[in-house]
Amino acid sequence: MYQHTAIWEKINLPHTWNKTDVLDQVPGYRRGIGWYEKEIFIPEVSVDMDYVLHFEGVNIKSEVYVNGEKAGGHIGGYVGFDVDITPFVYKGKNNLIQVKADNSYDPYVVPSQKSDFAIYGGITRNVWLNVLPKTHFVGMLIQTPEVSKETARTSVRLKIKNENAIENFKINLVIKDANGKPVVEKNSKEKLDFGENSIQLDLPVIKNPNLWSPSAPYLYTIEANLVYDEKVIDKIKERIGYRWYEFKEHDGFYLNGERLLLRGTHRHEDLAGYGNAIPDSLHRKDIEMIKSMGANFIRLAHYPQAPEIYRACDELGLLVWDENPWCRGGVGPKEWKENTKRIFQEMILQNYNHPSIILWSIGNESDWMPDFPGGDNPDSLKAFAKELHQLAKKLDPYRYTVTRKFPAAQDVVDVFSPSIWSGWYSDVYKNYEKTITKARDTYKRLFHAEYGGDSHAGRHTENPINGDGKIILEGGDEPINKIQLNSIANIGDWSESYIVDLFDWYLHVTENLDWFSGSAQWIFRDFVTPLRPENPIPYVNQKGLVDRSNKPKDAYYVFKSYWTNEPKFCYIESHTWTERIGKENELKEVNVFSNCDEVELVVNGVSYGKLKKDINKYPACGLSWNVKFQVGKNIIEAIGYNVTEKVAYDSMTINYTTQKNGRPDEIILKKERLKNGNYLITAYAVDKNGKRCIDYEERVYFAALSGGKLIDNLGTPNGSCVIEMANGKALIEFKHIPLQKGIVEVRNQDFKGTFITIED
């Protein structure tokens, strides 16, 4: 009998207790136990029912108690599980549900604690109470073993729990099209044993099926009805898509018989203000943003994600790499292996029916940094990789297995991704084509997961490291010990200017390779990591195309310019690069990223001419002009055309100077009232003449001394009280208490501090 007393905080699910402490300036974050409690009323009913709690995810271990009695639990934080609470409930009364969630350090549960992301604690996804008849469906697995443009075969495996004395039932299966019209149907008489039953049924062939693809994500619905005495006593339904695909050896990817270049990115479950406890509406918004960028592929890093993500990928059209949480840590002993295999199996079975999924990943960087003695032994690693591969093939013979940066498994899985970070952790980005071509010859089926680099929003440079770089390393493989590596990750300025050039070059290459299967940029959104306290935004991996609040950086528009046709847009590089410096009459490069056929650049009312977009040209697909700025204010306009029709427009203003700033002399603060009622406080480093020091990049510290609080611990450019300046500028949001004097301070080791007063 379990009893627990405490002072409770009222919360909504999903929930994590690590929403802010993963980002505060105290090293580490809370790793331990949290309790959740809720009373639910179970009414008296005339028919016996089963009561099953379904948890979409509890990080990272859990125990579930009902009225003080342990009803179940789970090990593994990124997969769903059921707890049958029927024996423990009181009908006609309130029932106390208590959940113990535990994200304590545990080397026996993947992912490894050495992984480069936060392992949040809590009930981090939705919870459902399912009320079911005593004979009911437990699940439905759908296979499409043969699909072509002419026909599609469907096989369904039903799991049924029977707790009645009744044996004879009828099962009705029907497939409906997207409009709800029945396409094929099957009726079967079945004798059910008491307890668990598994039934395999093949449906009639569908002729001329509507095929699922990223450009046309057509979904059918399969409904199963359990019938007794001509009455439907339970039903279950799933949506499916018909498609076939192939990674050809040393060649490209083919979907429904046609080559498709996989254009992808990655996603962590991590969002400013939420941690990983993200509501479904915002899960879906992520997929909508990724789709609107033009992507057709997503790798879910580095664990299975919320059910809403898979639903959105099915509906919107994104092909999915789904990943077992075996991230780093090497191979472990028996208990570790049992947990890791079970979690992998649960991932496959719960996500089985989604047509968007094409790859089951056994893990990522799995041989790095072993948690157990001998955990990096290549033979042991390969043997366990084979176990996972064989398990995946047994459960699902129709999908490929994959892994990334795990040499011991490169000949085990169907598809392999080496670690290629040309231009960041090694090599230079202009060597990318040579490196990826070598990889094609080395690996039977190649997909390139992870490339890119960090960028600090708003940081720009007139002279970014070019594609020839300062590095003579070749080969592209990322060394394990980055500290010893003379890489751009270590010596670069982390400017948006450089990362835009890198992505522009990569896409310029991959969009023109006729043999390439595809790649996925790392990563769509900045995310929290306990391993990076010294980053410009401490504890944030800043490789995202958008910041942690989903605000696009410049790089987002680079991808959009290559990958989308509609809607038409122009984006001048860059809207956060408003202060530029150079010589008088010096030609300065202005790039426009656009999906229009032709773009005209106008500076201060003078046209610099129209240029045609050409993906064979670099930079910016040829939409690049050399411009003479006038000292002071310059208005830049970009006009996009399709033939002669104006279809897109963008503009910005920059201030151009020929005078370099002097040494930083002080920090000044300015305030701006926002629509939400808060104040945006901007700090500028200036020289003794008040000129902004655009080369000042040191870390500054904001503090609210009175009259309100900073909106911080968000890991965003304006939601971090400790942050490096970007071109001599840093921001923080301040929530003011009305009628009180608000005082905000900024300081660092170079300056004694500056204060600004806010009074309504």
User: Quick one: DSSP state of residue 434?
Assistant: H
The answer to whether 423 and 434 are in contact (CB under 8 A) is: no
703, 735 Cβ separation under 8 angstroms: no
What would the pLDDT profile of 441-455 be if each residue is shown by its tens digit?
999 999 999 999 999
For residues 73 and 83, the answer to whether their CB atoms sit within 8 Å is yes
Picking from 373, 367, 469, the residue whose alpha carbon sits closest to that of residue 426 is 469
Report the pLDDT value the prediction gives residue 486, as an integer from 0 to 100: 62
Which pTM does this prediction carry? 0.94
How far apart (Å, rounded) are the C-alpha atoms in residues 165 and 187? 22
The DSSP H or E segment spanning 337 is: helix 334-351
pLDDT at 488: 75
Q: What is the 3-state secondary structure (H, E, C) of 346-406?
A: HHHHHHCCCCCEEEEEEEECCCCCCCCCCCCCHHHHHHHHHHHHHHHHHHCCCCEEEEECC
Q: What's the Cα-to-Cα distance from 562 to each of 154, 217, 503, rounded to whole Å?
A: 37, 21, 11
Say if CB 447 and CB 497 are below 8 A apart. Answer: no
| Closest-CA residue to 172 (of 159, 158, 161, 188) | 188
Regions of the chain short of the pLDDT cut 70 = 1-6, 467, 469-486
pLDDT confidence of residue 475: 46
For the chain, state the CA radius of gyration.
28
Residue 484 CB partners (closer than 8 Å, separation 6+) = none
Active site residue 365: yes
**Predicted pLDDT at 706:** 96
pLDDT, residue 472, reads 36
Catalytic residue among 269, 308, 323, 365: 365
Tokens 């959104």 -> residue: 525
> How far is C-alpha 16 from the geometric centre of its chain's CA atoms?
18
* Strands 400-404 vs 357-364: parallel, antiparallel or unpaired: parallel
Distance of CA 671 to the CA centre of its chain: 34
What pLDDT score was predicted for residue 738? 92
pLDDT recorded at residue 107:
96
Rounded distance between C-alpha atoms, residue 587 and residue 585, angstroms: 6
Note if the bond before 397 is cis, omega within 30 degrees.
no
